[in-house]
C-alpha cells in the first residue's frame, strides 16, 4: 500500500471519529422541555361547574335509565368531606346487572411521581348484615390523549387500562371492604417512559347489581405534580 493510500485511510478514520463525536454531543444536548406544574384539585360542589372545568361524566351501564345519562349527581344531602357538596352515584344509575359510571378528569400531562388522592364512602351503614351491598370504585389512568376514551361495553375500561386504586375489589360487605365514613385513598403514578398527555377517572363499577350495588360518594380529589 502506498503512502498516499495510507494517508487517505487515516484521513477517513479521523473524519468518521469526528462525525461520531459530533452526533454524540448533539444527542447529549437534546433535553425534553420541562413539564409545567399540573397540580389541581376538585371539590365536586357542583356538577355543571366541574364540567366547565373539563370534567366528563358518562354512564356506560348496561341499561341506563332516562335522565341518568351522566351517572352522577352532586349533593350535600349528608356532610361532604369538604366544601359544600360531593359526587354521588347509586344503584339507580342502572336498570340492568352492571353499573359502569365514569367521572373523567380534564386532560393533563402525567409523569412518574405525580400523586393522586381522594376521599370516598359507601352509603351503607353496615348496621343490618342482611341489608348490605358491598360496592366498588376504581381510580384509573389513560395515557392516550384525545376524547375517544370510553367504550359502550358496560364491562370495558376503554382507554383507561392502568388501575391506580381499587376500592373493595373483592366486594367485601363490611367496613373492611368499602368504608361507610369519608376515607382517604391515594396513589403515585409510575412505570411511564416519559411524560405524556392523559387523564385520571373514577369508575363506579359493580356487577350483579342486585346483590352488590348501593351507592358511593367521592370528594376532594387532589392531583399533585411531582414538580409542584
Looking at the structure, tell me whether residues 43 and 22 fall in a common domain.
Answer: no
The predicted pLDDT at position 27 comes to 43
pTM of the model: 0.85
Cross-strand bridge partners of residue 119:
184, 219
Looking at the structure, tell me whether residues 58 and 168 fall in a common domain.
Answer: yes
Residue 76 sits in a domain whose CATH number is 2.60.120.200
Q: How many domains does the chain have?
A: 2
Looking at the structure, tell me whether residues 63 and 159 fall in a common domain.
Answer: yes
Task: Of 157, 224, 160, 158, give the one whose Cα is nearest residue 186.
Answer: 224
Looking at the structure, tell me whether residues 95 and 139 fall in a common domain.
Answer: yes
Looking at the structure, tell me whether residues 92 and 17 fall in a common domain.
Answer: no
The predicted pLDDT at position 32 comes to 61
Q: Under 8 Å CB-to-CB from 189, ≥6 apart: which residues?
A: 110, 111, 112, 113, 114, 115, 116, 141, 164
Burial of 114 (0-12, 13-18, 19+ CB in 10 A): buried
The predicted pLDDT at position 110 comes to 97
Task: Of 105, 218, 115, 109, give the one whose Cα is nearest residue 164.
Answer: 115
pLDDT along the chain (228 residues), means of 10: 45 43 44 82 98 97 96 95 97 97 97 98 85 94 90 96 97 93 97 96 96 96 95
Phi, psi at residue 52, to the nearest 5°?
Answer: -65, -25
Q: Tell me if residue 214 falls in helix, strand or coil.
A: coil
The predicted pLDDT at position 105 comes to 98
Domain enclosing residue 23, as ranges: 1-31
Amino acid at each position: 500500500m502506498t503512502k498516499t493510500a495510507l494517508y487517505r485511510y487515516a484521513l477517513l478514520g479521523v473524519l468518521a471519529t469526528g462525525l461520531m463525536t459530533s452526533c454524540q454531543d448533539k444527542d447529549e444536548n437534546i433535553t425534553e422541555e420541562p413539564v409545567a406544574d399540573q397540580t389541581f384539585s376538585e371539590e365536586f360542589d357542583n356538577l355543571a361547574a366541574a364540567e366547565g372545568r373539563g370534567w366528563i361524566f358518562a354512564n356506560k351501564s348496561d341499561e341506563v335509565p332516562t335522565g341518568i345519562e351522566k351517572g352522577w349527581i352532586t349533593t350535600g344531602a349528608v356532610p361532604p368531606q369538604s366544601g359544600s357538596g360531593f359526587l354521588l352515584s347509586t344503584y339507580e344509575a342502572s336498570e340492568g346487572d352492571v353499573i359502569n359510571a365514569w367521572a373523567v378528569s380534564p386532560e393533563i400531562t402525567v409523569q412518574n411521581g405525580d400523586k393522586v388522592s381522594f376521599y370516598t364512602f359507601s352509603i351503607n351503614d353496615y348496621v343490618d348484615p342482611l341489608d348490605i351491598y358491598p360496592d366498588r370504585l376504581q381510580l384509573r389512568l389513560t395515557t392516550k390523549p384525545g376524547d375517544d376514551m370510553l367504550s359502550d361495553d358496560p364491562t370495558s375500561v376503554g382507554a383507561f387500562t392502568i388501575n391506580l386504586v381499587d376500592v373493595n375489589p373483592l366486594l367485601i360487605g363490611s367496613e373492611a371492604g368499602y368504608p361507610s365514613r369519608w376515607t382517604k385513598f391515594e396513589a403515585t403514578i409510575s412505570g411511564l417512559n416519559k411524560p405524556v398527555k392523559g387523564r385520571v377517572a373514577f369508575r363506579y363499577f359493580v356487577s350483579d347489581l342486585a346483590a352488590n350495588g348501593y351507592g358511593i360518594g367521592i370528594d376532594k380529589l387532589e392531583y399533585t405534580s411531582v414538580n409542584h
